[in-house]
Amino acid sequence: MFELLKTLISIPSVSRDEQKKADFLEAWLQERGCGVQRYGNNLWCIAGGYDESKPTILLNSHIDTVKPTTSWSRDPYNAVEEGDKIYGLGSNDAHASVVSLIHTFLKLKDTKQNYNLVLLLSAEEEVSGKGGIESVLDKLPKIDFAIVGEPTSLKMAVAEKGLMVLDCESVGKSGHAARCEGVNAIYKAMDDINWFRTYKFPKESQWLGGVNMQVTIVNAGTQHNVVPDKCNFTVDVRLNECYSHQDILYIVKDNVECSVTPRSTRLKPSGISVEHPVVSKFKAMGGELFGSSTMSDQALMPFPSVKLGPGDSARSHTADEFVCRSEILEAGMVYVRLLDGLNFCNIESPHHRITASPI
């Protein structure tokens, strides 16, 4: 696992430019007897003895990374070991999960289980790109459950926030600033921005808390002596599973004067019952559950899933990113122990999308 991790770090794979890493992994898995299928830069393998009458578990993580920041003090593509730590871009997010899930798949692919096992290494996760997991879901066998490998300190995320980005525009009327003419669009926007800053959605989640809204970009004006007639601003909305995107839009539009346009409504919140057999076994193993505020490919999965992996989310997207060897070793053991002999047959699993009633 460690040698594979160091090789993966050495191959740049910024989102939408993962071909070299996908080429390497395709060959590496083929050499180890995995029948690899590929679409774009997404790779998947199906364990032997596939049986349509059995449920299917998906092991998923992503092979792309963010761009390295300028504050790296070392070569981000040179994996360096210092004590228990392995430094390198993507080491923590999410190559440690990739190698741990590959290890798990190789350990279990030829064993007899009462479920089918599929390994998917996907692209474009960091940008929620349409050439990533979304492009291959219809090419996989029917999936009943997924484990998504992300740095969670080996705690199991049983809920994950969704995302909606809103483009807003306040419209005024231009005029000469010296004569206080026109209608200042900035002032109109300020009232709406203040609503976004102070509004509290009434429904809170056990695992995810409330809905968060943050105004993150504001643009207005052309020159100092012209009253601006337009002010555009962007709002980042993180949804809990109590609200659908449509619910949020209804509430927002009912409370602000500006126009509101969502960029996408595809990145949904998720949640799973703590009585699900995989969650129950993890708890019996002494595992800890939590709700995750960060997003993953779970947002695009139309089936029950959890997020679980080695590393610490606080290290993701930071300079001098690292993961610990001990974290990877523990992850390999936890994944195998969780899945080997799992009683997953004939379980009616609650669907993990919870769509609130219209407000």
Q: How far apart are CA 294 and CA 104, in angstroms?
A: 24
What is the reported pLDDT for 351? 40
Q: How far apart are CA 340 and CA 278, in angstroms?
A: 11
Per-residue CA distances from 287 to 42, 58, 147, 153, 256 (Å) = 30, 20, 15, 11, 44
What is the reported pLDDT for 180? 87
| DSSP-assigned beta bridge partners for residue 239 | 162
What is the reported pLDDT for 350? 40
What is the reported pLDDT for 344? 74
Residue (of 266, 40, 271) closest to 135 by Cα position: 40
Beta strand 42-46 pairing with 305-307: unpaired
> Tell me, what amino acid is at 332?
G
**DSSP alpha helices (H): ranges in the chain?**
2-10, 19-31, 96-108, 185-198, 245-253, 277-284, 325-339
What is the reported pLDDT for 355? 37
What is the reported pLDDT for 341? 95
Collapse the DSSP code of 64 into the 3-class scheme (helix H, G, I; strand E, B; otherwise coil) and give the result. coil
Q: How far apart are CA 75 and CA 62, in angstroms?
A: 22
pLDDT averaged per 10 residues, the chain (length 359) = 97 97 98 97 97 96 96 97 97 98 97 96 96 97 97 97 97 92 96 98 94 97 95 97 94 98 93 94 97 93 96 94 98 98 63 37
What is the reported pLDDT for 345? 60
Q: How far apart are CA 11 and CA 176, in angstroms?
A: 56
This prediction has a pTM of 0.89
Q: Within 13 Å and on the Cβ side, how many CA atoms surround 56?
A: 19
Q: Is 54 exposed, middle or buried (0-12, 13-18, 19+ CB in 10 A)?
A: middle
Contact between residue 332 and residue 1 where contact means Cβ atoms under 8 Å apart: yes
| DSSP-assigned beta bridge partners for residue 86 | 81, 323
| DSSP-assigned beta bridge partners for residue 171 | 230
C-beta atoms surrounding 3 within 10 Å: 9
Residue (of 219, 209, 217, 266) closest to 240 by Cα position: 209
